[in-house]
């Protein structure tokens, strides 16, 4: 029994859902997303979407919860959007952006230039006395997560001093240094 797959999805006003036999498209004020699906059935009744499966085979049960979660994220994304914030911890670590180009100074001999996808809005916040913050926002949850993970992979937080690129609010397990 899929607990997530059985939950109905409520569709807010301003969001249109188009269900085809092989894919579903969701359109809202922030954008449009399309997701292909198979081996599950999607029904729309009034302002509620339900995902059901045809049998109890393990692979179909897994897809039941997966597609329900993907469709829920699509609906929430086109109506509200998603935001991820990254914090640069370290002396001399800086971030700046010119449109969709992100310029990162992370302690290497060169700056890292990264072209961000046009669907993702990037904003850098630098205040004196505080760590620089990179704010990513988009209607596509997968894309925001991918871009944030890519930026974080350039300099992962290390466990001794905690320097690196981390998510805002992320707790880093710290290790003790050398014991004399």
pTM to 2 decimal places: 0.89
The domain boundary residue, chosen from 34, 50, 79? 79
Question: pLDDT band at 180, cuts 50/70/90?
Answer: low
Other C-beta atoms closer than 10 Å to the C-beta of 24 total 21
| 42 and 8 belong to one structural domain | yes
- Cα 147 from Cα 117, distance rounded (Å): 8
| 75 and 95 belong to one structural domain | no
List the beta bridge partners of residue 48: 10, 45
Those residues with Cβ within 8 angstroms of residue 67's Cβ, 6 or more apart along the chain or in another chain: 5, 35, 37, 40, 42, 51
The domain boundary residue, chosen from 28, 56, 79? 79
Q: Is 86 exposed, middle or buried (0-12, 13-18, 19+ CB in 10 A)?
A: buried
Structural domain count, the chain:
2
Is a pLDDT exceeding 90 seen at residue 178?
no
Is 72 part of any domain?
yes
């Amino acid at each position: 029994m899929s607990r997530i797959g059985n939950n109905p999805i409520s569709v807010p006003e301003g969001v249109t859902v188009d269900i085809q036999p092989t894919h579903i498209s969701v359109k809202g004020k922030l954008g449009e997303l399309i997701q292909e699906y198979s081996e599950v059935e999607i029904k729309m009744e009034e302002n509620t979407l339900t995902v059901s499966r045809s049998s109890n085979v393990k692979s179909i049960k897994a897809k039941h919860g997966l597609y329900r979660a993907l469709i829920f994220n699509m609906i929430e994304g086109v109506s509200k959007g998603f935001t991820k914030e990254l914090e640069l911890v370290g002396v001399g670590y800086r971030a700046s952006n010119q449109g969709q180009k992100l310029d990162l100074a992370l302690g290497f001999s060169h700056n890292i230039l990264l072209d961000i996808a046009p669907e993702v809005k990037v904003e850098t916040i630098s205040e004196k006395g505080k760590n620089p913050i990179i704010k990513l926002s988009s209607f596509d949850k997968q894309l925001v997560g991918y871009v944030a993970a890519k930026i974080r992979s350039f300099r992962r937080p290390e466990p001794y001093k905690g320097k690196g690129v981390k998510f805002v609010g992320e707790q880093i397990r710290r290790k003790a240094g050398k014991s004399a």
